[in-house]
Amino acid sequence: MRKILFITGTRADFGKLKPLMRAVEACTEFRCMVFVTGMHTLRLYGETRHEVELAGFKDIHVFHNQFTNESMDHVLANTIAGLSRYIHETPPDLIVVHGDRVETLASAIVGALNNILVAHVEGGERSGTVDELIRHAVSKLSHAHFVANREAAERLVQMGESPETIFEIGSPDIDVMKSDALPTLEAALKYYEVPFVDFGILLFHPVTTELEALAQQTDELLTAIEKSSLSWIVIYPNNDSGSKTILDAYNARLAGKPRFRIFPSIRFEYFLVLLKHAKVLLGNSSAGIREAPIYGIPSINVGSRQRLRYSGSEVVNVPFEENAILHAIESIGQREQNEHETSGGYFGEGDSANRFLDTVRSASFWQIPCQKHFRDIL
């Protein structure tokens, strides 16, 4: 029985990897292993490791790789050390990583240096910040690539990756978004004690290459939502450098006010339900580029963090200027939700888990060599 180890460090990557993990867990040909670390272990961010445990996976290992606000390079080093010890005790046949977090980079390094196959989910994409550097570095350290679309696949080929190692499966979160097992809006509002039904969602992360401007950016953003006519569900940022600046501003300006509900984290399925019924998603999260357009929800993308991402017609890009943000918020009432208007299958059709499982069940997949070579484009 081959052992497939999934690495999860955040609420976001767990939501995307969970369909793949469930498919592997249900398959008698494989043993599904889950290495839980990163934000999942931090009390400040809701200790979302419990969400992974409640999902019912049998083989879970929790590793505390950081304390709150530890620098990203230290987190990288800690994760390498902890995962290295783990895989030497329980060596997997495949390590599956997602996206562009430092835990992802650490895991790809460990796999590459120990001759273990590494599969990268959603590589080949652009964002425009240090996240993009990490994502591309992970791709070069990985042996197999499960990409969201043809554009990402072509970019990996441009980076010297072999087409035979690239598998287009779509974005796994679309599987969850199209599921008929999501909770109702009423259940989500009750579970999180949200007292309003007309709301926007704020999901704002620090840009690690713009930390000197972060306080001013946060001020412009919060002034705009305070002046807006909407109520807001506010979700904590990720724990990148600068997150404390954002959290301090939330606590000082929004906490306890009736138009705002602030959460360290929201379970992925509940988040999707709230998103589907929101008036707008505001901030600089990839959810505004990916998930919001699938549901036809207007997305206001602020600043540079997602500036090189694919951007559909539902996405409005604005600078960190109070008036521009406020104008975009107040303009959303003139727009109608139109489900699937901008997705067009760009991020997949909701069958990523089946495509992933079909790939790893094939004998040819396990013939991918650990020794990589750059492939010149002639």
Q: Is the pLDDT of residue 365 over 70?
A: yes
Q: Is the pLDDT of residue 230 over 60?
A: yes
As a whole number, mean pLDDT of residues 210-239 equals 96
Q: What are the tens digits of pLDDT across the range 86-144?
A: 999 999 999 999 999 999 999 999 999 999 999 999 999 988 778 899 999 999 999 99
Query: What pLDDT, on the 0 to 100 scale, is given for residue 68?
Result: 82
Q: Is the pLDDT of residue 336 over 70?
A: no
Q: Is the pLDDT of residue 15 over 80?
A: yes
Residue 224: burial class (beta carbons within 10 Å; 0-12, 13-18, 19+):
buried
Q: Which amino acid is at 83?
A: L
Q: How far apart are CA 125 and CA 123, in angstroms?
A: 6
Give the percent of the chain with pLDDT over 90.
83
Query: What pLDDT, on the 0 to 100 scale, is given for residue 334?
Result: 54
Which class does domain 185-334 fall in?
Answer: alpha beta
Please indicate whether residue 91 or residue 289 has the higher confidence score (pLDDT): 91
**Cα–Cα–Cα angle for 176, 181, 186, rounded to 5 degrees:** 110
Query: What pLDDT, on the 0 to 100 scale, is given for residue 216?
Result: 97
Where residue 311 falls among pLDDT bands split at 50, 70, 90?
low
Q: Which residue has the tokens 């540079």?
A: 304
> What's the chain's average pLDDT?
93
CATH code, residues 2-178+350-367 = 3.40.50.2000
Q: What are the tens digits of pLDDT across the range 245-287?
A: 999 999 999 999 999 999 999 999 999 999 999 999 999 998 9
* CB-CB neighbours of 103 under 10 Å: 31
Q: How far apart are CA 346 and CA 166, in angstroms?
A: 17
Q: How far apart are CA 292 and CA 315, in angstroms?
A: 9
Q: Where exactly does CATH 3.40.50.2000 map onto the chain?
A: 2-178+350-367, 185-334
Look at phi and psi of residue 339 and say left if phi exceeds 0, alpha if psi is from -120 to 50, else beta: beta
Query: What pLDDT, on the 0 to 100 scale, is given for residue 341?
Result: 45
Question: For 262, phi and psi rounded to 5 degrees?
Answer: -110, 135
Query: What pLDDT, on the 0 to 100 scale, is given for residue 166?
Result: 98
Q: What are the tens digits of pLDDT across the range 120-130?
A: 999 999 887 78
Where residue 340 falls among pLDDT bands split at 50, 70, 90?
very low
Q: Is the pLDDT of residue 339 over 50?
A: no
